[in-house]
A and B are shown apart, each in its own frame.
Chain A
Amino acid sequence: MMNHTLKGLCNLRAGTVVTGKWHHQSYKLLKPLGHGANGVVYLAESMKGIVALKLSDNSEAVTSEVNVLRRFSKVQGVALGPSLLDVDDWVTPLMKKHIPFYVMEYIKGEDFSTFIRKRGKEWIVILLLQLLSALDKLHQEGWVFGDLKPENLLVAGPPPTVRLLDVGGTTLQGRAIKEFTELYDRGYWGLGSRKAEPSYDLFAVAMIMIQSCCPIKLERKGDGRHQLISIIQADGMLRKYQAVLMKAIDGKYKRASEMKQDLLATIHRSAHSHSKQRASKKTTQKSQRSKKRKRGKAKSVVETALIIAVLLCAYAIYVYHQILP
């Protein structure tokens, strides 16, 4: 449910200029990119180029998100979230109060679910492998992402690269998860605590896979674990990864890299058995074909002769016409 200020912030006209009170930078809003529980994000133009700007009515939320983004920009070489460019207050006569905002790198891309719908389900595992690498780094830095869900993943590129957005739920390990979404929360499914541990995020990764493979409206009914198992077993692709998914759901992975290894191993195993299957199919096909060939050898000689004769005739007629028009 949205309050008054937030609603106002969601309906700002394109061309509105947001100027910071402290750092005096100006940003021209181009269009809204999306909104959520505690803010709205606009595409904006500035001296530094195209950026994403998040306005909020909640100063605390902005401040904690900025704190997290600031920490992340210190992690060299890996893009864990969008990089932070500016933090300020907008003094606007429209709202009669200071609106806190921050400016970040604009990540051009498609949201996870749209990408999968357009490009195919074979991308799910690939993007999740990328995601697990990013999570492993994040976890090693002592954080847990928290509000992990398809809506908070963007696929940038090319080449298609998964990026994390919305660090509102990002929590120091050992504390209570700050923000979460029921469907991806192990607490909701009755399968664990809301303590920030790597396994909390890995449960959400399993749920993202389940939700991407069969995009039905999920809701817990009774025994959560039982329900998830039957969903996994009913889907061909999920069934292939059942062992990995269940390990993540049961919180048995201590690290994202372990889950990544297991996913890779499953892919290789199934690729191997695939090629083996294909190989054995090929040999039987080949032997059948060779049998066929033997049987029809005489017949094929006659066929070839016939074709050559017809072609010769056609050629003769063609030449004849060319000479005598």
Chain B
Amino acid sequence: MRKGTLRQILLITDGCSNHGEDPIAMAALAKEQGITVNVIGVLDQDTIDESGLREIEGIALSGGGISQVVYAKQLSQTVQMVTRKAMTQTLQGVVNKELKQILGPDVSLEDLPPEKRGEVMEVVDELGETVELEVLILIDTSGSMKTKLPTVKEALLDLSLSLNARIGDNRFAVFVFPGKRGNVEKIVDWTPKMEELSTVFPKLTSGGLTPTGPALREALTYFERKRSLRSLIRDDESYFEGSM
């Protein structure tokens, strides 16, 4: 039985976009293509301003993902937690859809007695462990992020450590914005291991504009078209029927 692929964008930023399309709209576009958008807001000592916070929450909300604002120090734990949580959430959604087909449209997980919920959760756990995962990491390298980049690098290496402990395969790609020439620049192409990151990161220069929206839009084009979330549902039908 072939499993589908979960696709996520992980956006790491420290504030507001100031150039191009509305990133919240671009996140909604991603969601329509079956790609989840998670956002991590990185703070220094300073606090983030209200509009920056609203944007971070808005992107995750319309991107069907999770957002979290943290101090740079906690970044490693947060990055891996957000990614895992979002995976579970997406898979839960997929499984819930399946449930509705079996039990009727008005039944959600909460409507099941706690005993039955356990079985569903085991299926979700199993899927989360074995599903293929593609994470496109999109890093804001505008001026204010400069001091935080070493911590971002650590957190990403840590993320690959966590995800590579799973049974399922992973593929990572790393993009930064603004890019040298355009809105966004690829620094690591799809790879199962993130070690290459160590060599690329020191060379990064940080620019002035923060084109979060355009960066998201362009990032979407780097996912392979043929595998979609719908294929995940279809592929797992056989799996589901077999295990219930």
CB-CB under 8 A from B158, the residues of chain A are 187-188
Task: Contacts A60-B88, A98-B110, A182-B76 given; indicate if A193 touches B161 (C-beta within 8 A).
Answer: yes
Enumerate B79-124 residues with CB–CB distance to A below 8 Å: 88, 92, 109-110, 113-115, 117-118, 120-122, 124
Establish whether residues B165 and A195, one from each chain, have CB atoms under 8 Å apart when the complex forms: yes
**One of B68, B117, B125 near A59 (C-beta < 8 A):** B117
- List the A side residues contacting B51 at CB < 8 Å: none
Complex: A174 Cα to B117 Cα, angstroms: 24
Q: Mark A186-204, 1 if CB is under 8 A from B, else 0.
A: 0110000111100000000
Q: Looking at chain B, what size class is its interface with the partner chain?
A: 20 to 34
The verdict on B70 contacting chain A, using a C-beta distance below 8 Å, is yes
B77 at the interface (CB under 8 A from A): yes
Across the two chains, which residue of chain B brings its CB closest to A192?
A: B161
Q: Is B166 in contact with chain A by the CB < 8 A criterion?
A: yes
Contact B162 A187 (CB under 8 A): yes
Chain A positions 124-170 with a Cβ under 8 Å from a chain B Cβ: none
Question: Which one of A89, A194, A196 lies within 8 Å of B162 (CB-CB)?
Answer: A194
Contact A22 B68 (CB under 8 A): no
Q: B9 contacts the other chain (Cβ, under 8 Å)?
A: no
Query: What residue in chain B is nearest A67 (Cβ atoms)?
Result: B118
Residues of A in contact (CB 8 Å), total 25
- A60, A100, A177 interface centre (most CB from chain B within 10 Å): A60
Q: In the complex, what residues of B have CB within 8 A of residue A257's CB?
A: none
Which residues of A from 171 to 187 have beta carbons under 8 Å from B? 174-177, 182, 187
Distance A174 CA – B126 CA, assembled complex (angstroms): 12
| Across-interface contacts of A88 in B (CB, < 8 A) | 114
Q: Is the CB of A176 within 8 A of B114?
A: no
User: Bound complex: CA of A187 vs CA of B115, how far in Å?
Assistant: 34
**Residue of A66, A87, A193 touching B165 (CB-CB under 8 A):** A193
Instruction: Give me the interface of A with B, judged by CB distance under 8 Å.
Output: 1, 22, 59-60, 63-64, 66-67, 70, 87-89, 98, 100, 174-177, 182, 187-188, 193-196
